[in-house]
Chain A
């Protein structure tokens, strides 16, 4: 396969087919092709975590993937996590614990935490901090984000 490629992928449960340049980053595809600008672009080299999405159920840096690589994949972004009127549970915890200030890093944190809550024990604060260590926030000092995750971990074991 050379030149532009036709890709079909699922984003937040909806199927999209687009023709893309191989060099188009998945982060730019989500933002510019699909208009899903909730996925933020910070460093574009995998350090800041702002562009974190779920790829087939696991967190991934969308700036370190090509859109063409996501052909056939299921992608989840922050847009699938809730709305202003009906926040998702992680968003609600962030609100209750003041876990954001400017909000630029928040989509990446929310998507990272979604993966971590599903797949990791997060049994103590050290584990929570390790789980968050790949995401950079320049406002909060992290304390309130850790508080939000700790509350989410407590809720995780309870029946809905």
Chain B
């Protein structure tokens, strides 16, 4: 339960970090909070030749709101995300999800961007980034990229990041005050990885659902949006029949795995129940859009 040997570098800047990653020839890893990476290194599931510590790079710990988007810097800790008043007001679905992220001590170190990069299929932050049409801003020695969250998650613990690519910020939609949202999760113990969770947003226009977004986690090899279920709801009256149709579409879309915690059928059933609750809650929260 000790990491294999590696070299360590305390990066002074983003350019310093990505050049060092490039020099490591694909064998370097970035550490921010380390709350997922360090366990994997202690188990020797990950054995980097170089560990690039970004904790001391200036200007990566900011949260900014601009033009309907919220940006979270690479060094924003879960503790900060959970307590941030801008997030609580403008991205309440993220604020609600934070209550389910690990335990308080882990939140002191762990970061939003680190959780997204770790890409655990049962982690909340990747699902939220996907729900809110997130964009991952990166840096490499060749320049940066802006990766849509929908193209970012490739599989369990796998992302579209190159070995010398550093995530500097992730941005996502803020929610207008009249947008409804819902977050429902079931875990065997508080703070543990969930068996399943569902997050939704929906706008209300002329009494009907507009642009609903539904994301799920824990029921596949990555967080997923549910376009069929979204389509089933769009323009509907959000009555029980419409929600039932969306739940059935969701259950037909997912193919959960069985493990010692739950069977595949149980997870599929659970995801539907959680989606129904999240959608009803979101519709209750949604307020009528005033015609412009």
A21 contacts B191, CB within 8 Å? no
With a cutoff of 8 Å between Cβ atoms, the chain B residues found around residue A139 in the complex are none
B34 contacts A65, CB within 8 Å? yes
Interface size class on chain B is 20 to 34
- CB within 8 A of A23: which of B2, B53, B55? B2
Nearest-neighbor residue (CB-CB) of A131 within chain B: B104
Per the 8 Å Cβ criterion, residues 46-86 of A in contact with B are 46, 49, 52, 55, 58-61, 63-66, 68-69, 71
Give Cα A110–Cα B184 distance, bound, in whole angstroms: 32
Tell me whether B1 is interfacial, beta carbon within 8 Å: yes
A60 contacts B2, CB within 8 Å? no
With a cutoff of 8 Å between Cβ atoms, the chain A residues found around residue B105 in the complex are 49, 52, 59-61, 112, 115, 134
With a cutoff of 8 Å between Cβ atoms, the chain A residues found around residue B65 in the complex are none
The stretch from B3-11, B158-166, B243-251, B265-273 touching chain A is B3-11
Per-residue 0/1 for A94-109: is the Cβ within 8 Å of any B Cβ (1 yes, 0 no)?
0000000000000000
- CB within 8 A of B2: which of A28, A46, A52, A69? A28
Give Cα A25–Cα B42 distance, bound, in whole angstroms: 9
Per-residue 0/1 for A1-16: is the Cβ within 8 Å of any B Cβ (1 yes, 0 no)?
1110100000000000
- CB within 8 A of B4: which of A5, A23, A60? A23
- CB within 8 A of B42: which of A58, A63, A71? A63
With a cutoff of 8 Å between Cβ atoms, the chain B residues found around residue A69 in the complex are 31, 34, 53, 55
- CB within 8 A of B104: which of A2, A45, A116? A116
Give Cα A55–Cα B8 distance, bound, in whole angstroms: 20
Give Cα A43–Cα B35 distance, bound, in whole angstroms: 14
Tell me whether B189 is interfacial, beta carbon within 8 Å: yes
B124: shortest Cβ distance to chain A, in Å?
16
B39 contacts A23, CB within 8 Å? no
With a cutoff of 8 Å between Cβ atoms, the chain B residues found around residue A5 in the complex are 8
Tell me whether A138 is interfacial, beta carbon within 8 Å: no
B34 contacts A64, CB within 8 Å? yes
Tell me whether B86 is interfacial, beta carbon within 8 Å: no
Tell me whether A140 is interfacial, beta carbon within 8 Å: no
Interface size class on chain A is 20 to 34
Per the 8 Å Cβ criterion, residues 16-51 of B in contact with A are 31, 34-35, 38-39, 42-43, 51
B109: shortest Cβ distance to chain A, in Å?
6
B103 contacts A133, CB within 8 Å? yes
Supposing A59-B104, A61-B106 touch, asked if A22 and B7 sit within 8 A by C-beta, the answer is: yes
Give Cα A28–Cα B6 distance, bound, in whole angstroms: 17
Nearest-neighbor residue (CB-CB) of A1 within chain B: B9
Supposing A44-B42, A63-B42, A65-B34 touch, asked if A22 and B6 sit within 8 A by C-beta, the answer is: yes
With a cutoff of 8 Å between Cβ atoms, the chain B residues found around residue A133 in the complex are 103, 189-191
A105: shortest Cβ distance to chain B, in Å?
13
Give Cα A149–Cα B271 distance, bound, in whole angstroms: 36
- CB within 8 A of A46: which of B5, B35, B51, B190? B35
Task: Tell which of A61, A64, A130 has the most Cβ of chain B within 10 Å.
Answer: A64
* Leading 8 A-B pairs by shortest Cβ distance: A134-B103, A22-B8, A45-B39, A44-B1, A64-B38, A2-B7, A59-B105, A58-B108
| Interface residue ranges, B against A (CB under 8 Å) | 1-10, 31, 34-35, 38-39, 42-43, 51, 53, 55, 79, 102-106, 108-109, 189-191
Other than A2-B9, A22-B6, give 18 A-B pairs with Cβ distance below 8 A: A1-B7, A22-B51, A25-B42, A44-B1, A44-B2, A45-B38, A46-B106, A55-B108, A58-B79, A59-B105, A60-B109, A65-B38, A65-B109, A68-B8, A69-B34, A115-B104, A134-B103, A134-B104
